[in-house]
Amino acid sequence: MAQLPFIAAIDAGIHQEMRRDPNVLYFGQNLATTENHEFVAEYGHDRVRVTPISETAEIGIAIGAAMAGLRPVVELYMAEFMLVAMDQVVNEAPRFRYMTGGQVKVPLVLKAGFGFAAGWAGQHTGSLTALFMGVPGLKVVVPSTAADAKGLMATAIRDDNPVVFMHHYLLTLEHGEVPDGEHLVPFGVAAVRRTGSDVTIVATGWMVNRALGAAATLAAEGIEVEVIDPRTVAPLDLDTILTSVAKTGRLVVVDQAPRHATVGGIIAADVAEFGFSSLKAPILQVNARDVTVPYSEPLEAYVIPDEARIVDAVRRVMQSGG
Amino acid sequence: MSLQSPSSEQQIEMLTQMLRIREFEERVKRTFTEYPGVIRGHTHLADGAEASIVGALSHFKKGDAALATYRCHGYPLALGTDPKAMMAEILGRADGICKGLGGSMHLTDVANGFLGTSGIVGAGIPHAAGAAWAAQIRKKGEVVFCFFGDGASKQGAFHETLNIASLWKLPVIFVMENNGYNVVTTSEQEDANAAAGQPLAIKATSYVMPGVTVDGTDPLAVAEVVGHAVARARAGEGPSLIESKVYRLSAHGNIIAPPGVPLHYPEHEAITVFGKREEYEAALRGDPVPRFRGKLVQSGILSGAAADALNAQVAAEMDVAVKFAVASPFPALESALDNVYA
């Protein structure tokens, strides 16, 4: 085990797979600009390249390379930059296996940071995960710990499908224990970050830590919260969530996106449909307020869900219902 | 660099492939009246582009790849795909080359090197560059043929990809089939080069690669120009842009008239939109398929009787394809849930 910052753990996952499989490529803007770049030095320019600011071509090239047998990882830096190339992400990469009747596979990873609520104002702070979650053919990964960042990246690279790897920018420098050597985290297996018997919270990315903070506060009041981190939202481990709700009878979903653009809302709908008989109270959602993320610090903090709003939602869900 | 001219046998093979593509497209067209309703959605025909397709792909070798657009019936025929499986796909049947999941716009035959087709204008161009990166790494001299229309050259994907392909010296041949129309607008209405009277191949100069305009109705001319581009790509010298000037002999696509029948091909936009019947009729008089047949007969490469036999053989082949497709069952309903993920 080593203590690594989240961002280094992602790199460790990429290294692990590039050493193992010569078909893995790594490319994007602003990387591999000198021979000293750690990936260039180890793998060479056949496999590691800097690209111009051309997201459509970057992602499109990844698709073609993948169809021709390679496993590209595209460094996109910010999830918003995928919006420039939304056709390639949503209407090209995930369509080809299906439209060709299974003749091709498109194994690629789109590595994109999101949710940078640190004064980046309106265009670099979005929580866009739900945009990709419902696209058949895409897989969507949202790690919240350094260990998962490495293990989910490695699994994403080995997966034979296009994977959107959404890492939260505010976790970039968070340190965590990361297993040495080969480390893989399976897709579709949620992590129970804290066990509790009174209320289930489902959260992803940076919101997992906020939920855990809220749970600590609530424990002092005698409310035991179970915190579930799905880790991958496509595929989604609904079973672990339903099992938890069967135990607690109460669900709060926490999501950094505006209310009608959340993963949490989709999870809430699934639980309402498949776990209704377990529920003792209406499901509550804690989301960003329905605005573009503002620049000014107190306004930004007001818009993004914080521990106080999560605590408040849990208290309310405890008071409602039977 | 000198290229060998195609032998007599190769020229006969070119004519055969041109005839097969033409007959296939004629049968697709006829299906709208012979079997109303069996074709759904939108189909786009390659008639008029046969010489360009066949001339370009005459340089295709095993290990190479080709990618194209939604106007994709011609390429797989030239690459060896079974027309029965193609027609069955266009009819959405179980025996379709893509199991009925793709249809006319997404014909794909990986086994024969036809790697993929995007229905979004220009979107497939970077895919070809990605496949060319794979070929570059494998260092076996393989190349990628990237087919698209003149309309696609107004997309960012075109410009972004040509820039990177040139920077990285990717082994890809960009074949722009310029048929003069972007759905229902003329090139001059939406292309600054065309409006200024320049060939569209001039776009290559921005990306430091050869840009050549060729008469796409002459398979031998196309084969020669593409041959140089292929040799350059195989030698690791990078991509080329070929502007192949053709005339689309059918309308952009069939008429879609929900909720259903009749679906058919209207007259060409030159007539329906611009009232230029003479332009269209001149294109018909220059139809590349009978012209190349005439050339081979005139030069003694093929006898008139042998050419007639070829016509009959191709007609029989495509008749079998249509009958096969019509008789093929629909896919099992549960198969709609397969192939979402690998």
Question: Does one domain contain both A91 and A125?
Answer: yes
Question: Does one domain contain both A241 and A290?
Answer: yes
* CATH superfamily assigned to domain B8-327: Thiamin diphosphate (ThDP)-binding fold, Pyr/PP domains (3.40.50.970)
The residue among B82, B118, B145, B162 with the most chain A CBs within 10 A of its CB, best to mutate, is B118
Is A124 known to be catalytic? yes
Closest CB to B101: pick one of A66, A91, A99.
Answer: A99
The answer to whether residue A186 is domain-embedded is no
Is A183 near chain B, with CB under 8 Å?
no
Question: Does one domain contain both A134 and A242?
Answer: no
The answer to whether residue A185 is domain-embedded is no
Question: Does one domain contain both A31 and A172?
Answer: yes
CA distance A206 to chain B (A): 28
* Dist. CA A233–CA A140, nearest whole Å: 6
Tokens standing for A88? 């390639």
* Chain-chain contact of A87 with B127 (C-beta, under 8 angstroms): no
Tokens standing for A92? 């090209």
Contacts of B342 in chain A (CB under 8 A): 97, 102, 105-107, 160-161
Nearest residue on chain A to B112, alpha-carbon basis: A103
Question: Does one domain contain both A117 and A166?
Answer: yes
What does each C-alpha distance from B321 to A59, B88, B171, B301 come to in angstroms? 37, 8, 35, 29
Q: What is the pLDDT along chain A (322 residues), one digit of tens a residue?
A: 899 999 999 999 999 999 999 999 999 999 999 999 999 999 999 999 999 999 999 999 999 999 999 999 999 999 999 999 999 999 999 999 999 999 999 999 999 999 999 999 999 999 999 999 999 999 999 999 999 999 999 999 999 999 999 999 999 999 999 999 999 999 999 999 999 999 999 999 999 999 999 999 999 999 999 999 999 999 999 999 999 999 999 999 999 999 999 999 999 999 999 999 999 999 999 999 999 999 999 999 999 999 999 999 999 999 987 6
Question: Does one domain contain both A208 and A311?
Answer: yes
CATH number at residue A309: 3.40.50.920
The helix (H) or strand (E) run that includes residue B214 is strand B211-215
**Treating both helix axes as pointing N-terminal to C-terminal, what angle do B8-34 and B288-298 enclose, rounded to 10 degrees?**
150
Closest CB to A64: pick one of B106, B126, B163.
Answer: B126
Indicate whether B40 pLDDT > 90. Answer: no
Question: Does one domain contain both A119 and A173?
Answer: yes
Question: Does one domain contain both A144 and A17?
Answer: yes
Question: Does one domain contain both A172 and A230?
Answer: no
Question: Does one domain contain both A159 and A270?
Answer: no
B315: helix, strand or coil: helix
The answer to whether residue A108 is domain-embedded is yes
Question: Does one domain contain both A61 and A173?
Answer: yes
The answer to whether residue A299 is domain-embedded is yes
Q: B268-321, pLDDT tens digit by residue?
A: 999 999 999 999 999 999 999 999 999 999 999 999 999 999 999 999 999 999
Count of domains forming chain A? 2
* Chain-chain contact of A65 with B342 (C-beta, under 8 angstroms): no
The answer to whether residue A119 is domain-embedded is yes
* Chain-chain contact of A98 with B134 (C-beta, under 8 angstroms): no
Question: Does one domain contain both A238 and A261?
Answer: yes
CA distance B113 to chain A (A): 10
The answer to whether residue A165 is domain-embedded is yes
Among the listed residues A15, A37, A124, A168, the single catalytic one is A124
What ipTM describes this predicted complex?
Answer: 0.96
Of A252, A257, A290, residue with least CA distance to A271: A252
Q: Would you tell me how many other CB atoms lie within 10 Å of the CB of residue A158?
A: 17
CATH number at residue A56: 3.40.50.970
* Dist. CA B80–CA B102, nearest whole Å: 19
Cis amide bond preceding B262, omega within 30: yes
Closest CB to B101: pick one of A60, A101, A106.
Answer: A101
Is A107 near chain B, with CB under 8 Å?
yes
B301 class by beta-carbon count within 10 Å (0-12 exposed, 13-18 middle, 19+ buried): middle
The residue among A24, A74, A90, A98 with the most chain B CBs within 10 A of its CB, best to mutate, is A98
The answer to whether residue A259 is domain-embedded is yes
The whole domain housing A301 covers 191-319
